[in-house]
Amino acid sequence: MNIRVRFAPSPTGYLHIGGARTALFNWMFARKHGGKFVLRIEDTDRKRYVPGAEQAIVDSMRWLGLDWDEGPDKGGPYGPYVQSQRTALYQEWADWLVEQDHAYKCYCTPDELSEMRKEQMAAKKPIGYDRRCRYLTTAQRAEKESAGLTPVVRFKMPLEGVTVIPDVIRGKITVNNSQVQDPVLLKSDGHPTYHLANVVDDHFMHISHILRADEWISTAPLHINLYHAFGWEMPVYAHLPLVLNPSGKGKLSKRTQAFDDGGREVLVKVEEFQEAGLLPEALVNFLANVGWAYGDDREKFTLDEALPRFELEDVNPAPARLPYDKLDWLNGQYIQEMEPLALAQAVKPYLDEAGYEVNPEMLLIVMPAMSVRLKRLPDAVPFLRFLFEEAPLQETAESLSHKQMPAELAREGFRRARDFVRDVEPYDLDGISQAMREIGESITLNGKAGPFLGKMRQAVTGQKVSPPLFESMLALGRERTLARLNEVVALFD
């Protein structure tokens, strides 16, 4: 079998993280089997269409590294890949269904449908279309046509029996046909509904497997009966597990933007993750763990490592929550692996946004030491604030002393550090680290440099959280470090 899968987002907004997981599993399945990954834009819902949404979805997928083989921008043998450009095809096959008595024209007006629902509610009957136009005679249809009523096209669902949904992940799912109404396939304006366009496109784009969220299971009986009516071979279904909020309470798919879930912010849009300073490598690694597991109790892996192990049969059908703490851990792991230049380039936009004028050389100095301290890229901003702001010294002689380094010893240590910074040539990392350690070991009561180095960092940066001392002193520069140490020494005089 030639493996062909598709991700078919609707441009009614951003790319949801749940949709990104669906796209990722489709991409992994295609790449695992040397197949094709198709991007199709399902824009038939014109009322909810959002200008710019298509480009936003494409940008988010590119950021995640989910490249496609065929799509609106790349073309392919089965295009066009935007549904609004395929309207004639849907009309043709809707007409065919009517001609073959698998569908019928429905002339009910919105007012009639509304009145029908009111009567059903009053009688406490199931709400839904009662198929009244399914049984119109030829004369009755002609009368409605002559009255100028523009019909929709509805599918004739079987009234009895069951439809079996074969699912790779869930096994066979059986649904009574009586539970499925006669849905609209073609609207009165000639545009298709999702059901018709979806089935027609999957057939003519030769889609072999449909990997989609389990919330679409309810549509499968209709789609399967459409395939039977057309006489087309049905793709293989795999309904992916529901994605829950991190707390495990509620569907994440209902959320449209970041929200609070048990006291922590939960991101929803892929662009929100990007803006929050999460790396695409970490996010796809994280999403691959939602409903599937690499095995060997291993959480961190690349997609190249995962592909040989990825099997649809191994996807767990149970709802899966998003453990965001694990995402932060993963992101920190990937940050640690970044080269200093790449990390500096990734951090710089957040410093720019904070209004800081960044010296690239200064930034490169602190990146190796910073990488182990960051969970997200914006975390660098408070760490590095001392490099950009001339904040007044908040310390006192008492706060810069230590039980292993009383005030007199602290005074001596800071003076020697000041003199070193003023006189040393060259002013470099090796010289700074050696001198500061020697000073610390010589002036503390226990002969250990730690108490002095900690107080030095506190004095030089004016922050409780910052990069390590030696890198901080070098990045700050001789002049500014000396000025800060002069202030500190004056505290002890």
Task: Convert the pLDDT of each residue in 31-71 to its tens digit.
Answer: 999 999 999 999 988 888 889 999 999 999 999 999 999 99
- At 376 the pLDDT is 96
309 has which bridge partners? none
In this prediction, residues 265-276 reach a mean pLDDT of 92
Angle at 454 between CA 453 and CA 456, to 5 degrees: 60
- At 254 the pLDDT is 67
pLDDT at 256 over 80: no
Largest CA-CA distance found in the chain, in angstroms, rounded: 108
- At 46 the pLDDT is 80
- At 324 the pLDDT is 86
pLDDT at 262 over 90: no
pLDDT at 266 over 90: no
**What is d(CA 98, CA 115) in angstroms, rounded to the nearest whole number?**
26
Q: How confident is the model at residue 422 (pLDDT cuts 50, 70, 90)?
A: very high
**What is d(CA 85, CA 192) in angstroms, rounded to the nearest whole number?**
12
- At 45 the pLDDT is 84
User: Which residue has better confidence, 149 or 260?
Assistant: 149
Is 254 tagged catalytic? yes
With 0-12 CB in 10 A as exposed, 13-18 as middle and 19+ as buried, what is 280? middle
pLDDT at 234 over 90: yes
User: Which residue has better confidence, 262 or 36?
Assistant: 36
In this prediction, residues 365-379 reach a mean pLDDT of 95
The answer to whether the CB of 471 falls within 8 A of the CB of 369 is: yes
Collect all residues with Cβ–Cβ distance below 8 Å to 150 and sequence separation of at least 6.
188
Angle at 167 between CA 161 and CA 169, to 5 degrees: 145
- At 241 the pLDDT is 94
> Which of these is catalytic: 172, 254, 403, 464?
254
The answer to whether the CB of 471 falls within 8 A of the CB of 429 is: yes
Question: What count of Cα atoms within 13 Å lies in the side-chain half-sphere of residue 439?
Answer: 25
Q: What is the DSSP string of 403-470?
A: TTB-HHHHHHHHHHHHHHHHH-SS--HHHHHHHHHHHHHHHSTTS-SHHHHHHHHHHHH--SS-S-HH
In this prediction, residues 100-112 reach a mean pLDDT of 96
Dump pLDDT digits (tens) for 145-185: 999 999 999 999 999 999 999 999 999 999 999 999 999 99
Q: How confident is the model at residue 258 (pLDDT cuts 50, 70, 90)?
A: confident
The one-letter amino acid at 194: Y
The answer to whether the CB of 11 falls within 8 A of the CB of 57 is: yes
User: Which residue has better confidence, 354 or 325?
Assistant: 354
User: Which residue has better confidence, 372 or 264?
Assistant: 372
pLDDT at 428 over 90: yes
Q: Average pLDDT of the chain?
A: 94
| Helix, strand counts (H, E) of the chain | 19, 13
Tokens linked to 173: 């799912």
User: Which residue has better confidence, 256 or 41?
Assistant: 41
The answer to whether the CB of 489 falls within 8 A of the CB of 407 is: no
- At 195 the pLDDT is 96
User: Which residue has better confidence, 207 or 1?
Assistant: 207
Tokens linked to 88: 């004639």
> Quick one: what percent of the chain has pLDDT higher than 90?
89
Q: How confident is the model at residue 21 (pLDDT cuts 50, 70, 90)?
A: very high
What's this model's pTM, rounded to 2 decimal places?
0.92
pLDDT at 138 over 70: yes
User: Which residue has better confidence, 337 or 254?
Assistant: 337
